[in-house]
Structure formats: C-alpha cells, structure tokens
Structure 1
Amino acid sequence: MRVGVVGAGAMGGAIAAMLERAGNEVWVAARGEHLTAIRRDGLKLDGAWGEYTARVSAAKTLPLKAKPELVIIATKAMDAEAAARDNARAIGDAPTVVLQNGLGGMERVAEQLPGSPIVGALSMIAASYVAPGHVRVTTAANTVLGAFRGTQDADAAELAASALNAAGMPAEVIADFEGAQWTKLIVNQVNALPAITGLSVQEVISHAGLRRIMTASMREAVRVGLARGVRFAAFNGLTHARLSFVARAPLSLGQMLPLRIRAYLGATPNPGSTLQSIRRGRRSEIDFLNGAVVAAAQGTEVPVPVNTELLRLVHEVETSGRHLPVRRVIDRVTAATGPLR
C-alpha cells in the first residue's frame, strides 16, 4: 500500500517506520533538519518495537506523484488544518487518518479535505523525537480509530486499522470515538506539568505535591465532561465508572489515576509531547489539551482554576524558554486555586 504520513515527528515517524518495515511504500512530509536527516540516512526507529532504519521518501509536502491510498496526519493539533490544506492536492480523495490529542482535529481537517473519508485516531503509544531522523518508542500500546461520518469513513477506519495491525501496531475501530477522545483528554492532563517543570511524566507523578495538582486537573476535566453529557469510552483500562469515581472521590483517592498511568509508562522516562515541543523551541498543543478543558467548561457551572493556571504557566514557559522550579509551581497553583482538596 502507498501511505503518506504528514508530520513525521515522534508519533508520525514511528508509524511511518513501522509501516515501511511491513512492506508499504511510505512517503513522509517533514521539515528542517529532520527532513534533511531522513533524506540522507533514512528514518531511524528504536525502542519498544526494535531497531530499524526505514527508507522512506521524504519532502516538505507530499508530492503529487505519491498518489497515496491512505494518509495519516500526525502533526500537532494546531498544525493539522494547515497540513491538510498544504497537502490537499496530493491527498486527493484518499482516506485520511487524523492522529492527534485534544478535541476538534477531525473537524478542521475535514473542512480542508471535503472529498476524503476522514478517520480519527487516538494512540496510547509513547514516542520521543531523539534527534533529526531518529525517533524512539518508549511505550508500545494500542491505537483506536473512529469514523468521522458515514459509511465511507467507516470503511476507511477499517482499512487504517488493518494497515496498522499488519505492521505490528495493535489497532481497533470503536463506535464511540467522541467518548474515547474525552478519555484520552483526561490522560493528556499528564502533559502540562512536565512542560512547566522540565521533568519527565514519571518524575512529576512521583512527586507528591505535583501529583496532587495533576489529579486536581484530571478531576476538573472529568467533571467538565460529565457536565456536558459525555459518556467516557473504555480506553486502556479507563472506564466511565472509574473516571466518574475520580471526579467524586477525595483528592487522595483520585491519585490512583496518575499512579496507574505511571505504572503503565514503565521506567523509561517519558517527557510528554508538550515538553518535547518546548525543548525543540516550538509552539505546543496545550491550547488543545488543558485549553480544551477550559473552553469546554464555558457554559457549565464547573470551575476549572487548576487547568486555567496550568495553561497560563505552560504559555509562560513557552515564551521565556525557562522551566519553573517545582516549589514555585506548587505555590503558583495554590495561590490561584486555594488549597487542593
């Protein structure tokens, strides 16, 4: 199969390499030093799925001659719309998978690709951009896909799942994709504090004070979802009942959720996608993570002071380029929210 991957960073690069290893003809759209390295040396993959150097075709955008049978857009959420627009002619009417965190990605891409079946994808794979041309899978996991609309999109979702499974990346199609998006949005609450402090996700969760803040942000997000009538889909051991319990339970019991995530991630330090963006001097997708919670809270009676302050602190670090000491982060959040209970 001819597959185009737009955004060959940590996640997109790992997927591109795995698909090429499985015998697919893979074209990737990348930029800067990453593009130069891929063209020169191939796309190097290591970590949980083994070591491999994929010989993929690479350019700034997918060329018209690629004529892909399947496209995967794996950019950051804020770049998805432009990526779809810039590659629209090459994509044509090819089925297109939108692999992103947060909310709203499929809708933005669908506007730019009216002739393409659109599929949403959520992945629990943890991957890191190591260096130009080099990505690492730190946690191997599953991916869920869901049709955006209609029968054609459902067929495209099955096609994408089949391609990923054949490449050794467990994938399944689920009916309640919106519920899964909200479940993943809760998991993505792990991103803000590593971005602010410069610590790994595991280090943040291991620190009692930071773990309490993370738990509080997760509880806010769950409460917003419940207030909006969301039914959280079962995803990687998280269920509607379990998340609803976290929203109601005392903060001390709610910490079971980040502790569960720490155990799932294992010992290899995971920086989280937001911290990786900041380390590379790029804008993060925090507006589509904690920012999505703040936006979704509008029109409800759910207060979200923790998410609001974390959003503010990530933007501060993005602007200054300097991480904040742990004690200062705890003090800033406490000053903005009051004692966490």
Structure 2
Amino acid sequence: MRIGVIGAGAIGGTIAALLDRVGHLVEVTARGEQLAAIRESGIRLDGGWGSHTARVAAAETLQTRPELAFVCTKAQDAPAAIRANAALLDGITVVVVQNGLAGLAEAERLLPGSDCVGALALYATSYLSPGRVTVTTTANTYLGAGDGAAPRAAVDAARILDAAMPAFAIDNFTGAQWTKLMVNQINALPAITGLSAQEVLGDRRLRAIVTASLQEATRVGFARGVRYGSIQGLDDRILRFVARAPRWAAQAVPLLMKRRMGATPNPGSTLQSLRRGQLTEIDYLNGAVVAEAEAAGVGAPVNAAITALVHEVERSGAFLAPHEVAERMRSVLEA
C-alpha cells in the first residue's frame, strides 16, 4: 500500500520505518536537517521494536497521492501541514496521531472530503539527532473517533498499522483522548528541569507537582462530563480515585506511570522539542486543561502555572533546578 507520513519526527519516523519494514511503499515529509538526513541515509530506527533502516521517499510535502496517510506533526504545526498537503489527502483515510484534544476536529474541518480518524501513540520514542529514532518504551496505538463505536475507517487503518506495530481500534475515542491528556501530565516537568520523566517522578518535590496537576486535570475532565477511556493502565475508575484522593495517596498513579516507563530514560516529547530548539506543544497539553477549565467555569491554577514555566524555559533556554521549581510552585500548591 502507498502510505504517506506527514511529519517524520519521533512518532512519525517510527510509524514510517515500521510500515516500510513490513513492505509498504512509504513517503514522508520533513524539513531542514531531518529531511537532509532521511534523503541521505534513510530513517534509522532502533530500540524496543528492533533495528531497521527505512529508505523512504522524502520531501517537504507529499509528492504522490497516498492510499492512507498519517499526520504526525506537533499539534501547533498540524493545520499548516494539512493545508500544504490537502490536495493529495482529499478523499482518503487520514489518521491524526497527536497529543491534546483538538487535532482530529481540526483535520475534519480542513479535510471535509476525507475520512479522518484519531490515533493515540502510547509508545515512547526519542528523536534527538537527524534521521535517527529510538523506541524507549513499547506500547499500543489506539485509533478511533468520537465517543461512540470505532468507525470503519479506524478499524481498517488499525488493521494495516497492527501488522507493523501493536494497534487497535477503540470505542469512546474522545474519552481515550482525555486519558492520554492525563498521561501527558508528565511531559511538562522534564521540559522545565531538563530531567527525564523517571527522574522527575523519582524526586519527591517534583512528583508532588505532577500529582497536583494530574488531580486538577482529572477534575476538569469530570467537570466537562468526560467518561475517561481505558489506556495505559488508567481508566475512569482510577481517575475518579485520583480526583478525590488526598495528594499523598494520589501519587500512587504517577509512581505507577514511572514503573511502566521502564529503565531507559524517557525525556518526553516536550523536552525533546526544547533540545531541538523548537517550540513545544504545551498549550495543547497543560494549556488544554486550562482552556477546558475555563469552558467548565472552574479554575486550573496548577496547570496554568506549569504552562507558564514551560514558556519561560522556551524563551530563556535555561532549565530550572528542582528546588527552584518547587519553590516557585509552592504558593499555587498550597492555595
């Protein structure tokens, strides 16, 4: 099958390399040093799903019409990427693999003639040098759309992807998006401190902040009437416990997340963006919680403060020490 992957970074590069490995004809889009590296040496994949070098066609935009496409850019880059490739995406199934809550709806708006479905990538990858992607934690990818049954397009796309990596079509995709947003609560503190996710969750002071932001975010979801989906060991029942429990008890969930990551340091996608000198998608993660809180008529001061700290690091280029982060967050946590 002819498959297009728009955005061959950590997630897109992994999808492209694994689909190439099982025999699909893959074309990717990339920019700058990443594009140059892929054209010269291919996408070099290693880590949890083995090693493979994918010699794929690459350009800044798709050059041929695919039969199936994956949009894997950062959330803030997706609208422009979709517009740039819209002519070749019209009428086909387009899988939007993104963090946050807005990506699928945005794709549906921009591609009214396409079957758009969402995908949640639960595996962890590192893309810190051009052309090379390392899978640090293997896990499933879930596809679907809306809060009902998985549409046929999601079932078919999941079947194709599952031949290359574990992938499943699921019901209540909206609820699963919200659960993934809870999983992504771990992304901000590594970006603020420069530490791995495991190091953040191993630090008592930083773990308290992650727990507080997770509790606040789950409460926002419930205020919005969300029924959380079941992914990555989290479900509606567990997240109700997180929302209601005292902080000392709720930290059991971030500790569970730490164990699931394994021993290979996981920098998280937000820190990886900073290390590559790029803007992060924090406004679509913790920032999305703040926006949803406003829509629900409630507050989200912890997530707002964390979002502001990530933007500060974006501007300054300097990470903050754990003790400084704890001190600066103290008043918010104690409020």
TM-score (normalizing by structure 1):
0.96
Q: Secondary structure at the match of 2:151?
A: helix
1:41 counterpart residue number:
41
Amino acid at match of 2:246: P
- Is 1:330 the counterpart of 2:296? The answer is no
Q: Deviations over 1:58-90 (max 9, x none)?
A: 000001xx2201000000111111111001112
In structure 2, the partner of 1:99 is 97
Does the alignment pair 1:339 with 2:316? no
User: 1:126 corresponds to which residue?
Assistant: 124
Distance, in Å, in 2 between the alignment partners of 1:206 and 1:45 is: 29
Give the equivalent residue in structure 1 for 2:248: 252
The letter for the 1-side match of 2:334 is: P
Q: Does 1:310 align with 2:306?
A: yes
Say which SS state the counterpart of residue 100 (structure 2) adopts.
Answer: coil
Would the aligned equivalents of 2:92 and 2:114 in 1 still touch at CA under 8 Å? yes
Residue of structure 1 aligned with 2:274, choices 271, 274, 278: 278
Measure how far apart 1:118 and its partner are: 0.2
- In the aligned structure 2, how far is the partner of 1:188 from the partner of 1:170? 20
Question: Please, which of 111, 114, 123 is the counterpart of residue 112 of structure 2?
Answer: 114
CA deviations over 1:132-175 (Å, ceiling 9, x no partner): 11001101100111135999x822211210111111x1111111
3-state SS of 2:118 partner: strand
1:173 to 169, 190, 193: 169
AA matched with 2:298: V
What stretches of structure 1 of length at least 5 have no aligned partner?
none
CA contact (8 A) 1:180 1:232 kept: yes
Percent same amino acid among aligned pairs?
56
Aligned to 2:7: 7
| Contact kept? 1:106, 1:148, Cα under 8 Å | no
Q: Which amino acid aligns with 1:128?
A: S
Equivalents in 1 of 2:148, 2:263: separation in Å? 42
Q: 1:110 to 1:150 in 2, by over 3 A?
A: farther
Q: Could you tell me which residue of structure 1 aligns to residue 180 of structure 2?
A: 184
How do residues 219-234 of structure 1 correspond to structure 2 at under 5 angstroms?
A: 219-234=215-230
Q: Which residue of 2 aligns with 1:156?
A: 153
The correspondence for 1:86, drawn from 84, 87, 92, is 84
3-state DSSP of counterpart to 1:316 = helix
Distance in 2, matches of 1:15 and 1:300, equals 36
Q: Which runs of 5+ in 2 are unaligned?
A: none
Q: Deviations over 1:262-313 (max 9, x none)?
A: 1010000000000000111111000000000000001435331110100000
Paired letter, 1:144: Y
Return 155-164 or 293-302, whichever deviates more.
293-302
Q: CA deviation at 1:110?
A: 1.5
After TM superposition, the structure 1 = structure 2 runs for residues 232-247 of structure 1, keeping only pairs within 5 Å, are: 232-247=228-243
The answer as to whether partners of 1:147 and 1:156 remain within 8 angstroms in 2 is no
1:120–1:147 contact (8 Å) kept in structure 2: yes
CA-based RMSD of the aligned residues comes to 1.5
Runs of 4 or more above 2 Å deviation = 147-151, 299-303
Q: Is the 8 A contact 2:4 2:62 kept in 1?
A: yes
CA contact (8 A) 1:128 1:276 kept: yes
- Could you tell me how far apart the structure 2 residues matched to 1:198 and 1:27 are? 33
Letter in 1 for 2:199: E
